Amino acid sequence: MDYDVIVIGAGVGGLSAGAALAKEGLKTLVLEQADFVGGCASSFENSGFHFDVGACIIELIGAHETFYQRLGVSMEDYITFLPNDPIYELVDILSGERFAVPASAEGMAELIGRHSAADAQAFLRFMREDGKMMDEFTNAVFTTPQCNLMGLFKVFARYPRAIMNLHRLMLPFNKVMADLFVHPFTRRLLCNSSVIGGLPPSRQAGMMLWQSFAEHDGFYYPRGGMGAVPRAMARALEDVGGELRFESRVERLVLERKAARGVVLSDGTVLTSRAVVSNANATNLYLEMVGEENIPRAVAKGLRSYEPSPTCAVCYLGLDYQPPLQAQHIMALADPELIDLFWSDIYAKGTAIPQSVGLISSPSYMDSSLAPEGGAALSFISMAPRHPQGVPWSEMKWDYLEQGINMLDAVYIPGIKEHVVFKTIATPEDFERRLLIPGGTIYAYSMSVLSQMVFRPSNRSKCVKNLYLSGASTHPSGSVPGALYGGLIAADLVLKDLNGG
């Protein structure tokens, strides 16, 4: 064999798996089809402005601490995380009122208390009584393999109190908010977690409400931009003996008696290994790299049955001034019903129009080196259909960009369009082409309850021996900490199986 383990894809999940395996002495190769690491968590530079491709928030910093601890090195030697406080600037899209959301739970309660003392007490009570349990439960979810129902039972067996809160995990986001809080302002304030999770409040799982509370346990941004995260992980991978190759696209897997024995690259190169970890999208992996003819029909049908996660377009702007921001991230303060309406009447119908319900991020707000002196880098992320109604993206993307700039000028940052000196856009079509993500989806599959944990493609393949999955399309699902923990889960399964455990 050429290698003990070959990892497909140098996203966060692939890098964490590869590094953990290399640390244990396995000869490990990570193959990346692009000329950079990170995928959706990467960055790019143009005209002196540095932009995050997609992901622009670091939560659950413990995932990164765990990764470097596994390698026996100090995280501080590889990367610096800057605390975000305030965590958001919110703009009421009806009244125009603006305010900052503080990082501390006490500051958040004070903000809520301006409108409802009862809700402020409920928020602090949740943080005090349920917060620790939810933190522990989430840690168990993120670190326990989900290869069958036993994995699910193990999580709830460790935290039986979570069963008492199961209705809050399973019910729609908006119903859980209505159960916990009485004032409309509080519900508007918290429903942005639903947007970040990729679904409107009426369709989002109640478990995503936990993110609204987790934000107050730590909200960070990496010095050097989001791309600094995978670059640091890649350096750590090589420091512990792993190998990384760029511009090496995997065409298909080498199979022997329904077992993975390596990969074939697009140039015909064959590389053999004892095991394969795929950080690629699970649908691409099974239907193309493994081959639909080599998997049970039920597996192919199941993969096609997954509801894809939403897609988005990102407008990237370089500014010749520093706009008057109160935080790196800006979002709309909007009624849950309005967010639902945007989903059902605009996005779901294939209409591609920049909407005020989205996420603005200015990386240079946190790190001035990410823009020319006196300037600023800013991006706007908004839900946008993969296949717009009527006109393809290739014909409308630049009009969409101009509409996005006009919307930002009208709603969020008056006068900004007079200061744009660089502009570009990435559409779902661009993400699909550049990152090899089917449909350009941001989380691979829907983040709804029935697409989580054991209901996602298994971390250990059930139909191809020696094949393991990490990344957004498997457990713990699409997010930076989710992908990172998923890589560690895959590595642990490989080590267990190769060692005869």
CB 219 within 8 A of CB 84: yes
Q: How many residues can be counted in the chain? A: 501
Task: Check residue 204 and give its pLDDT.
Answer: 78
Task: Check residue 32 and give its pLDDT.
Answer: 98
Q: How far apart (Å, rounded) are the C-alpha atoms in residues 153 and 137? A: 12
Of 336, 60, 64, 370, nearest to 183 by C-alpha is 336
Q: How far apart (Å, rounded) are the C-alpha atoms in residues 51 and 36? A: 14
Q: DSSP readout, 173-230?
A: HHHHHHHH---HHHHHHHTHHHHHTTS-TTTSBGGGHHHHHHGGG--EEETT-TTHHH
Q: How far apart (Å, rounded) are the C-alpha atoms in residues 477 and 401? A: 30
Task: Check residue 201 and give its pLDDT.
Answer: 82
Of 487, 501, 420, nearest to 5 by C-alpha is 487
Considering the chain, tell me which residue range(s) the CATH 3.50.50.60 domain(s) occupy: 3-44+59-79+224-307+444-498
CB 33 within 8 A of CB 55: no
Considering the chain, tell me which residue range(s) the CATH 3.90.660.20 domain(s) occupy: 308-435
Evaluate whether the domain defined by 308-435 bears CATH number 3.90.660.20.
Answer: yes
Task: Check residue 339 and give its pLDDT.
Answer: 85
CB 228 within 8 A of CB 78: no
Query: In terms of DSSP H, where are the helices of 126-172?
Result: 131-143, 149-158, 160-164, 166-170
CB 31 within 8 A of CB 252: no
* pTM for the predicted model, two decimal places: 0.93
Query: In terms of DSSP H, where are the helices of 326-437?
Result: 336-342, 363-366, 393-407, 428-435
Q: pLDDT tens digits, the chain, 501 residues: what are they?
A: 799 999 999 999 999 999 999 999 999 999 999 999 999 999 999 999 999 999 998 988 999 999 999 999 999 999 999 999 999 999 988 888 899 999 998 999 999 999 999 999 999 988 887 766 667 777 777 777 776 767 667 777 776 666 666 666 777 888 888 888 999 999 888 887 777 777 778 877 777 777 777 777 788 999 999 999 999 999 999 999 999 999 999 999 999 999 999 999 999 999 999 999 999 999 999 999 999 999 999 999 988 988 888 899 999 999 999 999 999 999 988 888 888 888 888 888 888 888 778 899 999 999 999 999 999 999 999 999 999 988 899 999 999 999 999 999 999 999 999 999 999 999 999 999 999 988 888 887 777 666 676 778 889 999 999 999 999 888 887 789 989 999 999 999 999 999 875
CATH hierarchy code of domain 3-44+59-79+224-307+444-498: 3.50.50.60
Task: Check residue 167 and give its pLDDT.
Answer: 65
Task: Check residue 447 and give its pLDDT.
Answer: 72
